[in-house]
Amino acid sequence: MNAFATLLPVIFPIIAGIALLPVKFKSRKQREMWVLSIVVLNAVFALYAIFGAGSPYVTLFTFNSKLSLALHVDGLSKVFGTMVSILWIITTIYAFEYMTHEGHEDRFFAFFIMTFGVVIGIAFAANFLTLYLFYEFLTLATLPLVMHQFDNKARHAGKTYVIYMMFGASLAFIGFVFIYCFGTTTDFVMGGVLNRNLVAGNEDVLRLVFVMAFFGFGVKAAVFPFWRWLPKASVAPTPVTALLHAVAVVKSGVFAIIRLIYYSFGTSFLIGTWAQNVVLIAAAITIVFGSTVALRTPHVKRRFAYSTVSNLSYIVFGVALMTPAGLGAGLLHMVYHAVIKITLFFTAGAILYKTHREYLYEMEGFGRLMPITFATMTIAGLGLIGVPPFAGFHSKWALATAAVNSGNPVAYIGIGALIISALLTALYIFYIVVRAYFPREKTYPEGYYDHVSDPNKYMTVPLVLLAIVSVIIGIFPEPLINFLNNVALGIL
């Protein structure tokens, strides 16, 4: 029974999504009811599997003694699974309203539901093969979402998306092969699975393979130099950009990196080596680079996409410190950033939906007319900069403290990157907010302020909810921090 409970949240949405593909709903109301019930039901399944069902190890299929498809819920799965489940519901509600202006909603929601199952599959994957499988599925399931509009821009973005993803997965695959050969098992075990006797003499080769696999998974996490697909993919409908490209897809990349470092190669094999330094520096470069480009991008959704590039590397940086404190800090930022960035994308989406404006200089003076949208953007923005007591301060604090305590001078570079990035973040967020509240011109051409108002409750309620959540987790961080630190220590 418990085994089935673990399997259900992975299988159910995939089947439901496929079943929905040929269905043509009669009315929007009917579709909304079906989609929402599937998503909520599956979120309940997932949360039950995470918190209620114990943690059975479910083997679905065995190829040989080392290769099998298996699911398992450990501490890391709990963090990722819970986060995804909750945010998926909120995004679904938001998407109902938003997608009315994009069209083809039947297809959209079918794939949207399927992706839910795939992401939970990544969260629950118990070994490298399962992770790899769902990782590839994720690319395929999200492709129709990225290319949703099927115009030339979307098609081009989709092509880039696939090429990058396949390239990354193939690099990761090399890592998989080496773990298969040099590991005692391909299961994920905290502390790593490398067989020391086999490794002896081949350390540098393995470290090279690690770096390759890191960058392979790093493609999804948009680590420099493989970030290019992410801003392009922001042609997708906003709920997709918000959920997939700020939370699910990119964080699957981070999640896979965590599995790679902590559960496959093992920190003791990597810490203090050149491989760690390469990874840390790549993260530091991405942090500054992402923020810099974000500041120069006037297209709001792309600006937030670049901001995501930067913030993902905060997480990667914490993870790459290879200490429990670093992993805890990375996970903390993973949660905070998920909430914040989804809020920001939703605000951009709300503006796009109401007014069809995409560039920040087209949004001047909107602040007063869309009070809820811009208030939530300001709150989320403060969190992203890391102004206490908003969410985002604590993760930055934890990251930097972990970096100081690691005593690695290369990690100090990362602290510098965090500080510079905070400055850039302040500029790229506040530029939008300030322009919105302090328009440059006294009067604008006729029609400029047409349709500028807050969207209806389908969109504002998720926004307000998320803003409240981000404030609450900023003011009461302790339970979350303790939980994540326990995960990082391998207690959960």
Residues that bind another protein (CB under 8 A): 382, 385, 387-389, 394, 397, 400-401, 403-405, 415-416, 419-420, 422-423, 426-427, 430-431, 434-435, 437-440, 475, 477-478, 481
Read off the tokens for 391. 């969410």
For residues 181 and 434, which CB has a smaller minimum distance to another protein in the complex?
A: 434
Nearest to another protein of 56, 388 (CB atom): 388
CB of 405 to another protein, least distance (A): 6
User: Nearer Cβ to another protein, position 33 or 419?
Assistant: 419
CB of 109 to another protein, least distance (A): 40
Which CB atom, from 168 or from 383, has the smaller least distance to another protein? 383
Nearest CB to another protein, comparing residues 401 and 486: 401
In the bound complex, what is the minimum distance in angstroms from residue 461's beta carbon to another protein?
A: 24
> In the bound complex, what is the minimum distance in angstroms from residue 231's beta carbon to another protein?
23
Minimum Å distance from CB 430 to another protein? 6
Q: How far is the CB of 90 from another protein (least distance, A)?
A: 25
Angle in degrees, CA 131, 332, 486, rounded to 5 = 80
* In the complex, least distance from residue 436 CB atom to another protein, rounded to whole angstroms: 11
Measured from the CB atom, the residue of 30 and 482 that comes closer to another protein is 482
Tell the smallest beta-carbon distance from residue 385 to another protein (Å): 7
Instruction: Give 177 or 419: the residue with its C-beta nearer to another protein.
Output: 419
Give yes or no for a contact between 275 and 207, defined as CB atoms under 8 angstroms apart.
yes
Neighbours of 84 (CB within 10 A): 24
Cβ proximity of 334 and 326 under 8 Å: no
> CB of 400: closest distance to another protein in angstroms?
4
Q: Which of 269, 253, 366, 264 is nearest to 311 (CA)?
A: 253
> Which burial class, exposed, middle or buried, applies to 258 when counting CB atoms under 10 A from its CB (0-12, 13-18, 19+)?
buried
Minimum CB distance to another protein smaller for 23 or for 434: 434
- Shortest Cβ 479–another protein spacing (Å): 10
Q: Nearer Cβ to another protein, position 238 or 313? A: 313
Which C-beta is closer to another protein: that of 350 or that of 426? 426
Question: Please, what is the minimum distance in Å from the beta carbon of residue 287 to another protein?
Answer: 13
Nearer to another protein, 18 or 427 (CB): 427
